[in-house]
Amino acid sequence: MPHDYRKTPEALSRLTRSQFKVTQKNGTEPAFRNAYWNNHEPGIYVDVVSGEPLFSSTDKFDSGTGWPSFTKPIGTDAVRSETDATFGMIRTEVRSAHADSHLGHLFDDGPTAAGGQRYCMNSAALRFVPAAELDAQGYGEYRSLFDPADPDSTQERAS
């Protein structure tokens, strides 16, 4: 079933001041003072603007930075990157593919065994969908990431 993950005026009107600053003005929230840096629950993280699936808790790790960090996106087409030359440094900015929300930055200091990348995201750009609520919230296609008894759990996902 195709989904329409766009940025709409209605979606933008629902954002908090912090969410708007991060996603629309390329802001950064404080380390260790955000919703998901220490979240260890199973589930997926979606774009707070569009609901587009971005990351899975199965790829989340404790980077020690104070922001939620992931080794990879939930799918190859979930995010896009571009060069960010602000603050006197060159970094790789990560944005949601469809709504163009600023999410955070990509660094090459992640776990080596998982590819060495660290997607350092702002909690304010994300909404967490617990694994137990995936079906109810319209993300049932991701249930197999968390339920090994699910017959679709052998389905290979984009990496």
By annotation, the residues acting in catalysis are: 120
DSSP 35: S
Alpha helices in the chain (DSSP H): 9-13, 17-25
Please list, residue by residue across 9-25, b when 16 or more beta carbons sit within 10 angstroms of its beta carbon and e when fewer do. Answer: eebeeebeebbbbbbbe
Backbone phi and psi for residue 126, each to the nearest 5 degrees, phi listed first: -120, 155
